[in-house]
Structure 1
Amino acid sequence: MIPHFTLYSRSYCHLCQDMLDALNALRTPELPFTVDVIDVDADPALVARFDELVPVLFADLAQPELCHYFLDEARVRAVLAG
C-alpha cells in the first residue's frame, strides 16, 4: 500500500507551499506516496480546528499530526519506511 498524507493548508501561505515542496522532494520511485492538500479556508470547521496552525501534515487522520509549520523529515521518512 502506498503511503498517503493529508496537508491542511491555505492558498496564500508561504509556509504551506514550503512544506508541500519539501514533502514532494522526498518522493522517489522507491518511496512513492500520495498527498491531498486541503484548503482550511473552504470549511469553517477546519478553520476552527487549524486556523493559525497551518500547515499541518497527517499520515493518518486518526493519529496525531506529523508536524506543523515546517516539515519534520524524520517523521515523514519513518512513515515512508513503514
Structure 2
Amino acid sequence: MNNQVIPKKFLVYGREGCHLCEEMIASLRELQQKKQFELDIINVDNNEQLTQLYGEKVPVLFAVNENKELCHYFLDAGVVDTYLS
C-alpha cells in the first residue's frame, strides 16, 4: 500500500504593485519555513479570464488540492492552519 503524502499546494492570484498581494505572499513565504507546502503566484493581469474572475478581489489564496478559495484580501491564518493540518 502506498502511503505517499501529497504536498499541499497554494496559488495566490494577485497582481504586480498590489501591496495586499505582497503582504499575503510574504506571510506565506514566512510560513513555508515552518510548514511544508508548495506556492505559486499567478498574475491575474496576464489572463483575461482571471482578471474578470479575480480582478477586484486580489489577492486570492486558492487551495489547489481541494480546488477552493481559502481567503482573499488578507491571509486568514486560522483557515490556512486548518488546511495544512
Q: Same fold (TM over 0.5)?
A: yes
Say yes or no: does 1:55 pair with 2:59: yes
Structure 1 stretches of at least 4 aligned residues deviating more than 3 Å after TM superposition: 61-64
Quote the offset at 1:25 in angstroms. 1.4
Partners of 1:43 and 1:6 in 2: CA distance = 15
Offset from partner CA, 1:15-48 (integer Å, 9 cap, x none): 000000111111235x211111000000011111
- Matching residue of 2:12: 7
- Report matched runs for 1:1-82 at 5 Å: 1-28=6-33, 31-60=35-64, 63-81=67-85
TM-score by length of 1: 0.88
Give the gaps of 5 or more residues in structure 2: 1-5
Give the gaps of 5 or more residues in structure 1: none
Quote the offset at 1:61 in angstroms. 7.1
What's the RMSD between the two structures over aligned residues?
1.5
TM-score by length of 2: 0.85
- Matching residue of 2:3: none
Partners of 2:52 and 2:65 in 1: CA distance = 17
Partners of 2:10 and 2:66 in 1: CA distance = 12
